[in-house]
Amino acid sequence: MEKRIMKTSETKLPETAPESFEQLCDILLPRPVHDEAENREMIRVMDWIAVRAHNQDQFDYAKMLGNLVTEYEVSQKRRTKPQLAGLELLKAVTESSGMTQADLAKVLDVEQGTVSKIMSGARSITLDHAKRLARRFKMRPESFLGLD
């Protein structure tokens, strides 16, 4: 059996994200996480792509990394598998915090009508919205995009 050598250096990340899933895999090949060093590195790459993603391949890559990190962290009993994501999560956290649609509009820097459309499902949560929500609720942006 071949011995695995733990990677100690950080993956070099370009300023802009490659467009295709295959090119993203050349940066860091998605594979099961075996230890804390791999977990930290995968989270670093996941954070990098999450703020740059704008096409389906990039979102799929971020989701795959998120799933692998979650699988590892659940196996280490550091967290439980999230039950809510996307709009369901947004509704749950705003309700539990007592936040009104007007409050949420301020957080998202949008009109209250836009918040109403988001909450009804008529409009999607954007990456910018997810980043703002993540800062406000101390969560990962991927959770609000359903990528966790």
Q: Are residues 90 and 118 in contact, defined by beta-carbon separation less than 8 angstroms? A: yes
User: What global pTM score does this model have?
Assistant: 0.53
pLDDT at 3 over 50: no
Residue in 14, 61, 69 with CA at minimum distance from that of residue 37: 69
pLDDT, average across residues 135-147: 85
CA distance 19 to 54: 9
User: Residue 61's Cα: distance from chain center in Å?
Assistant: 10
3-state class (DSSP) for residue 148: coil
Domains and CATH numbers, the chain: 21-75 (no CATH), 86-145 (1.10.260.40)
For the stretch 24-45, pLDDT in tens is 999 999 999 999 999 999 999 9
